[in-house]
Amino acid sequence: MEAKEKYSERRRSERRHDARRSNARRGDVRLDSSFEASLLDHNGKTVNVSASGVYFEVITNDMEAFPLGTTIPLQINAVTHTYEGREGTLKITGRGKVIRNCIIENPDHANSLGVAVEFTEKLHTEIDYD
């Protein structure tokens, strides 16, 4: 019994070490937030966003809509508030290259596609106030 506990603790420690090493390889901090995303006539939600790229999920029947290496236009929308209480939509637009994609199976609704995009140009920002 005692050996099992020590082994579990050792494995936990190894996983923590691997996670730190993985995060150190990432050059930019990731914001784990869900924003609306528009890509190639598909609408989806971001899973995380960083200065160098975005990972999003989109519900689609076309599992080959975002092939690896393809450069695509994208737009991310986020609701923002000013100190005066005004509400607006922050629109971030640009282009990026698809560097990873995977099918996400969901028994509750249609399958979705997870897509990682690396930005290939400086992003443009605009705020629309209603």
Condensed to tens digits (0 to 9), the pLDDT of residues 46-89 reads: 999 999 999 999 988 787 889 999 999 999 999 888 888 889 99
Identity of the residue numbered 49: V
Residue 14 reports pLDDT greater than 90: no
Condensed to tens digits (0 to 9), the pLDDT of residues 78-99 reads: 988 888 888 999 999 999 999 9
Q: Residue 3 — pLDDT band, cuts 50, 70, 90?
A: very low
**Three-state DSSP class for 112?**
strand
Residue 13 reports pLDDT greater than 90: no
How far is the C-alpha of 80 from the C-alpha of 24, rounded, in Å? 30
Farthest CA pair distance, the chain: 64
Domains, the chain, with CATH or none = 29-129 (2.40.10.220)
User: What is the rounded average pLDDT for all residues in the chain?
Assistant: 80
User: With contact defined as beta carbons under 8 Å apart, do 37 and 43 qualify?
Assistant: yes
How far is the C-alpha of 75 from the C-alpha of 114, rounded, in Å? 16
